[in-house]
Structure 1
Amino acid sequence: MQSIRYYLFVLLCWYGLPQRPVRAQASEGWTLEKNKDQIQVYSRYVGTSKIAELKVECTIPGTKQQLVALLSDVASYPQVIYGTKRANLIKRTSETQFTYYIVNKLPWPVKDRDMAVQLSFAYEPAGKTLRIQANRVPNLVPPDPDLVRIADFSANWIVHSVNERTLKITYTCRIDPGGSIPPKVENFAASTGAYNSFTLIRDNLSAPRYQGKTFSFMR
């Protein structure tokens, strides 16, 4: 049952901790699920509950401005965020904070999941570190009887520049997908979902619409 929960979790969350050696990761309970193309996917579970945690560490071509532009482009999430069925902006409070609604498509017979999320950016000039945090916002959107509302969600990124055109990202996420999970969908490959998520982000950072963007909070 844990494998499908992790699969759901990979599809539903995409937003860290400083990178550490694999030996230290293992001592913290992280299991290395996939290591390919400079993308490492780790997972762990909190006790015997449904709460799952994911960590992705990767090095990808791009800039912090391109990443902020991509994550701010909610309308394009179905094209750039793995597993997104639809997404729409609810409210943009400022350049560094907005709230959106997202529906994630899951394999039949599992119902699609939905939630409202508040995402915020923060930049630390001293270390040239971009931090991104996302949290579920409960009761903001009325429930849909055809969907299962995600019960708990929080995630964050820590982003550094390796050089002018390369990013080093550490991403962690914690989620309870809610609802029941039929045993027949137990065998989905979780690590593939996480790998695909960051592959899509990597490949879309170079899209023309994300080039030449500037943000005042990172000046």
Structure 2
Amino acid sequence: MATGFRQRLFRACAALSALLASMCACGEGDTGGWRPEKSEDGIHVYSRAVEGSSVRAVKAEVAVDAAFEDAVALLLDASQRPRWDELCAEASIVRRVSETEDVAYIHNDLPWPVSDRDMVLRRIWSVDADRSRAQIRASVMDGVLPEIAGRVRVTHADGVWTIERGDAAGVHITTEIHADPGGPVPDWLMNALSVQGPYKALRNIRHLLESREGDPGPELRRAAP
């Protein structure tokens, strides 16, 4: 990713930091109610009830020995998502709204006999002025793309990724997600989606970043001057 584009990206993101913090459905500083679900290999996964929903919200976190800018770039690059999200068969940018907002399409390939899921996400991101913390907020958008036969369109989902610089070289990555799969899903698969999914995603992200395989990819290169 070109240095000039990265600098412009972070300058534009800084102006949105306060706005994004107020938008996050998984409220920053609200740590009550989280139940430990899995703790292994330095990755911790929690869940908590959400009022009015039968689906629990999930939080997962991990420390990664990687540069802050590389972690942000990897998570913003939709083309890289299938490399760290094992259920994701396809991810692409539908529309670029600004330097700090876009619309992405995600197609998840679920095991038979469960129908595949897909969704259209509005993503807004920000970076603190001192580049110590970044957030990527995503929520479902309706009416952007026609539904595709054989895929159930997810209509209720939101989440936030938080990337923070660590005390030493490295970053701390946290993801909080609440999504309704939109139809019946077997218990074993729901567990895979809600607990194993975030766990494996952070494990894969850590591997990509620490092995320097987390290339920013063509999506961000095309945006560079």
TM-score category, normalised to shorter length: 0.7 to 0.9
Distance 1:143 1:189 in 2: 22
- Match of 1:10? none
SS of 1:174 mapped into structure 2: strand
Question: Are 1:38 and 1:60, in contact at CA under 8 Å, matched by a contact in 2?
Answer: no
Change (3 A) 1:106 1:209: same
Q: Identify if the C-alpha distance between structure 1 residues 50 and 151 changes in structure 2 by more than 3 Å, giving closer, same or farther.
A: farther
Map 1:13-92; keep pairs closer than 5 Å. 28-47=32-51, 49-92=53-96
Which aligned pairs between 1:201-212 and structure 2 lie closer than 5 A? 201-205=205-209, 206-207=212-213, 209-210=215-216
State the SS of the aligned residue for 2:215. Answer: helix
Residue 174 of structure 2 aligns with an amino acid whose one-letter code is T
**Which 10-residue stretch deviates more, 158-167 or 61-70?**
158-167
Q: Deviations over 1:85-107 (max 9, x none)?
A: 11121112233221110111112
Instruction: Give the alignment partner of residue 109 of structure 1, picking from 99, 113, 121.
Output: 113
Would you say the 8 A contact 2:118–2:151 is kept in 1? yes
**Matched length:** 192
Which of the numbers 75, 82, 99 marks the counterpart of 2:103? 99
Moved more, 158-167 or 113-122: 158-167
Q: Give the drift of 1:175.
A: 1.1
Letter of the 2:175 counterpart: Y
How far off its partner does 1:128 sit?
A: 2.2
Name whichever of 140-149 and 44-53 sits farther off.
44-53
Query: Partners in 2 of 1:109 and 1:160 — Cα distance?
Result: 39
Q: Which moved more, 1:80-89 or 1:33-42?
A: 80-89
TM-score using structure 2 length: 0.74
Structure 1: state its 5+ residue gaps.
Answer: 1-15, 215-219
Q: Which amino acid aligns with 2:34?
A: W
Aligned match of 1:193: 197
Deviation at 1:186, TM superposition (A): 6.6
| Percent of aligned pairs with the same amino acid | 29
5+ residue gaps, structure 2: 1-25, 221-225
Instruction: Give per-residue Cα distances to partners, 1:122-173, cap 9 Å, x unaligned.
Output: 0112572211111111111111230111121111122211146311122211
Q: 1:78 to 1:162 in 2, by over 3 A?
A: same
- Provide the TM-score with structure 1 as the length reference: 0.76
Give the 3 Å change call, closer, same or farther, for CA 186–102 of structure 1 in structure 2: closer
Specify the SS of the correspondent of 2:164. Answer: strand
CA RMSD of aligned residues (A): 2.9
